Structure 1
Amino acid sequence: MAALCREEDLDDLCLSRVKLAYIFCGNLKTLPSIVERVRKAGIEPFVYMDFIDGLSSKDSAVEFVKYYTSAAGIVTTKSNQVRRSKALDLGSVI
């Protein structure tokens, strides 16, 4: 397991041998491509909702991750986001 805290470390993450990565960086524009690169490297990406610039605590933020990225799931402390991710068959870590 790894955590991507800075976009400039994306190449290093993709070259690593981890199987799961938490994405702590990015914004609405860059998140889809970050997640896609991580997934193509054979790593299951989970998006940490509170750290992505432009995402809110609303259910629609979970829908954005589901429909505009290839993330395996989300990381959140918000119960409404957990419920919504389960309804969308998107993994969640509390």
Structure 2
Amino acid sequence: MNCTSLLELLADGPVIAAVKDDAGLEAALESDVSVLFLLYGDILTIGEKVARIHCADKKAFVHLDLIDGLSAREISADFIARHTAADGVISTKVALTKRARELGLVAIQRVFLLDSMALKNVERHFSQESADLVEVLPGLMPKIIRQLCQTTGKPIIAGGLISDKEDVTGALGAGAVAVSSTNPAVWAM
């Protein structure tokens, strides 16, 4: 999978299921969403989880920072690329998303916008080589989403606290290409 094919997939269904436990994974596999963010697991089970997602004809993105047994070093991206069939990765660490891109994985840079300083840091220090997409948390800030779409030049995914149709339409209307949510009710929208 490449970034263009992911964007085409998200254009058809812009809601991403973010799963944080086995019950969430089961619900996401039975849902109509086509992209899953794996926010849990360990190095012994992550390959199996990715395989299950692919068997359901869905795309799997592994959050490197949240997988037990992986470190905050580039070797984690190498592990995912070599030992799973993941379509891409998510990380808050620029070095990991940059390495994932070098390995041919779609890379999503997750950023937490806690205040204006965090926003300015993203705008100032975001590297065009570091990621294919940016996931912004919390995703309930249409004005900021619009601003980041312009300043980063990257597709934006809105995540965190997305809980109803108004949140989804607000984020998409502000320019986000998709929203991610752990809420199964959002997956059905």
Q: Scaled by the length of structure 1, what TM-score is found?
A: 0.94
State how 1:50-61 maps to structure 2 within 5 Å.
50-61=65-76
- Cα distance in 1, alignment partners of residues 51 and 19 from structure 2: 14
Q: Find the residue that maps to 2:68 and give its secondary structure.
A: coil
Q: Structure 1 counterpart of 2:21, which letter?
A: R
- Cα distance in 2, alignment partners of residues 80 and 12 from structure 1: 32
Which residue number corresponds to residue 4 of structure 1?
19
Which residue number corresponds to residue 40 of structure 2?
25
Which residue number corresponds to residue 101 of structure 2?
86
User: How far apart are 1:43 and its partner, in Å?
Assistant: 1.1
Q: How many residues align?
A: 94
- What root-mean-square deviation, in Å, do the aligned CA atoms of Structure 1 and Structure 2 show? 1.0
- Cα distance in 2, alignment partners of residues 35 and 22 from structure 1: 10
> Aligned match of 2:79 in 64, 67, 77?
64
User: How far apart are 1:82 and its partner, in Å?
Assistant: 1.5
> Is the contact between residue 62 and residue 85 of structure 1 (CA under 8 Å) also seen in structure 2?
yes
State how 1:37-52 maps to structure 2 within 5 Å.
37-52=52-67
- Cα distance in 2, alignment partners of residues 89 and 17 from structure 1: 27
User: How far apart are 1:4 and its partner, in Å?
Assistant: 1.1
Which stretches of structure 1, 4 residues or more, deviate above 6 A after TM superposition? none
Q: Find the residue that maps to 1:75 and give its secondary structure.
A: strand
Q: Structure 2 counterpart of 1:49, which letter?
A: L
Larger radius of gyration: 2
> Is the contact between residue 7 and residue 26 of structure 1 (CA under 8 Å) also seen in structure 2?
no
> Is the contact between residue 46 and residue 74 of structure 1 (CA under 8 Å) also seen in structure 2?
yes
Which residue number corresponds to residue 77 of structure 1?
92
Q: Structure 2 counterpart of 1:9, which letter?
A: G
Q: Scaled by the length of structure 2, what TM-score is found?
A: 0.48
